Amino acid sequence: IFAISTGREYYSVKEVLDKHNIKAQSIVSNGAEYRDEDGKILGFINIEKERARKIIDILNENNFSARIFTDKGVFTPSTREDALQEIVFRTMSMNNDLTEEEAREISKKASLFTSLKYIEDMDKFFEEIEVRKFVAFHKDLELIDRMKKEIGKIDEIAVTSSFSDNIEVTNINAQKGIILKEVADKLGIKREEVMILGDSFNDYSMFEIFEETVAMKNAIPQVKAIAKYITDSNENLGVAKAINHVINNTMSNMLKTK
């Protein structure tokens, strides 16, 4: 059984799955939502509404634009221009060789911008919408760190990152490792029969809970430090190579860290 576990919301994942004709279970929004191979929601963990309001207040006070993953698409409390700028930061983070102007032109056409919904009435928004996750990118790393600390003071909230220049916020129980363990238990799969592959801060909980863990060569040091194995980089077929080692019973050929 192959499953995707990601910080992205489902429809971003679906684009990739459909493009490559892949059917897979998906843990999305860092563990706030779990879907089967057909995209049916099997489980979810929301951010409680009053806590979500507090997060939005902190974002607004700091003029910090973020996207909100919900049960009805992706929203933002920001203006169109501020929302575009946040996606420009994301595009530049994913493509280091782009200028800001080049990233802006790409971002204008990106589906995560063109499909973005804008909150016009906050009370109505919270009456009709369930909040799963907040995510934001920014080039000011000091601001990112400050936002992590401020939002992290809210109880029952988990603050993590996929990259050094972003922030991701979910319910404290909506973490990849926690929900993946629940999924494995429901499927009758033992913890030692699950292989984890990851590279980022938001993968850390999976590496803590499961035993057969594989860090990408390009993973952050914290993930490499607790991984059992290290495979090649994501740009050099690292995932495929790790899976082939399992199929061919050659896991011992991977670099061991323990």
pLDDT digits (tens, 9 = 90+) for 29-69: 999 999 999 999 999 999 999 999 999 999 999 999 999 99
Q: Please write the tens of the pLDDT for every residue from 79-88.
A: 999 999 999 9
- Residue closest to 45 by CA, chosen among 147, 180, 220: 180
pTM: 0.84
| Residue 68 host element (H or E) | strand 67-70
Residue 125 pLDDT > 70, yes or no?
Answer: yes
CA distance linking residue 138 with residue 87, whole number of Å? 9
Stated length of the chain:
258
Paired tokens of 2: 């192959």
